[in-house]
């Protein structure tokens, strides 16, 4: 139920959008970090597209890298999208973040890791994704209920798949999907690695310098 309810809700929303726009298939945009929240959202989205009989290449995944992107989550995101057959585009937002900070008279985010630097990255990711079209929100119930998120950041989206799912349940669901092999052995292997990755608000172990693709 924890997986099927958000999937059914997204199916209904996508049907409505397709009908209103006169399209046979909708395109959606989703930010992928390689963590629990975005991984579960991507799985729900793929399940919704499979139910509708729509090709998964209409699900556009983006990894918007910044100073908090590390090699572990970077590789997990690539493996997950490859296993699901979802196109993944990597865009570095360092220059955009520094431009906004410069306008505020703030030092570049490469030189400090303060709250302002985290906020600007979260909002820029939303700007890029939401500008592209229908954005899938990835914020979970634990973040939203506790206000443990950047307002105007990952709490935004045209449809939030995890809005009614707590973080602890997300971890269980990802493990359950891996155990059931719902998306094949390759995806299950990635999901086990994602589930084993420590949960943190800002993982910044090894910086990964990504070039826009």
Strand-pair partners of 91: 64
pLDDT of residue 211: 33
User: From CA 102, how far away is CA 121, in angstroms rounded?
Assistant: 14
Q: Are the CB atoms for 73 and 203 separated by under 8 Å?
A: yes
Two structure tokens written together for 209: 């310098």
pLDDT of residue 49: 98
For residue 34, give every residue at least 6 positions away whose Cβ sits within 8 Å of its Cβ, in sequence order, or none. 63, 72, 73, 74, 75, 76, 77, 80, 194, 197
For residue 94, give every residue at least 6 positions away whose Cβ sits within 8 Å of its Cβ, in sequence order, or none. 65, 66, 67, 109, 110
pLDDT of residue 17: 94
pLDDT tens sequence for the chain (213 residues): 999 999 999 999 999 999 999 999 999 999 999 999 999 999 999 999 999 999 999 999 999 988 777 888 999 999 999 999 999 999 999 889 899 999 999 888 776 678 888 888 888 888 999 888 899 998 888 877 766 666 667 667 888 898 888 888 999 999 999 999 999 999 999 999 999 988 765 433 333 333 333
CA atoms within 13 A on the CB side of 16: 9
Q: Name the pTM for this structure.
A: 0.88
Q: Give Rg (Cα) of the chain.
A: 17
């Amino acid at each position: 139920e924890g997986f099927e309810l958000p999937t059914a809700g997204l199916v209904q929303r996508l049907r409505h959008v397709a009908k209103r726009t006169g399209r046979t298939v909708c395109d959606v945009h989703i930010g992928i970090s390689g963590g629990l929240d975005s991984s579960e959202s991507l799985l729900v989205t793929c399940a919704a597209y499979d139910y509708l009989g729509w090709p998964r290449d209409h699900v556009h995944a983006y990894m918007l890298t910044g100073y908090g992107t590390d090699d572990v989550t970077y590789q997990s995101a690539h493996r997950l999208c490859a296993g699901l057959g979802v196109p993944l585009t990597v865009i570095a937002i360092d220059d955009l973040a520094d431009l906004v900070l410069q306008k505020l008279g703030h030092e570049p985010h490469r030189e400090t890791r303060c709250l302002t630097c985290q906020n600007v990255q979260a909002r820029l990711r939303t700007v890029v994704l939401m500008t592209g079209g229908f954005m899938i929100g990835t914020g979970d119930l634990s973040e939203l209920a506790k206000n443990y998120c950047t307002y105007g950041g990952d709490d935004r989206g045209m449809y939030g798949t995890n809005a009614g799912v707590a973080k602890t349940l997300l971890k269980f669901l990802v493990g359950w999907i891996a155990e059931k092999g719902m998306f094949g052995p390759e995806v299950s292997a990635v999901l086990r690695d994602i589930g084993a990755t420590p949960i943190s608000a800002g993982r910044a172990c090894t910086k990964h310098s990504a070039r826009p693709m």
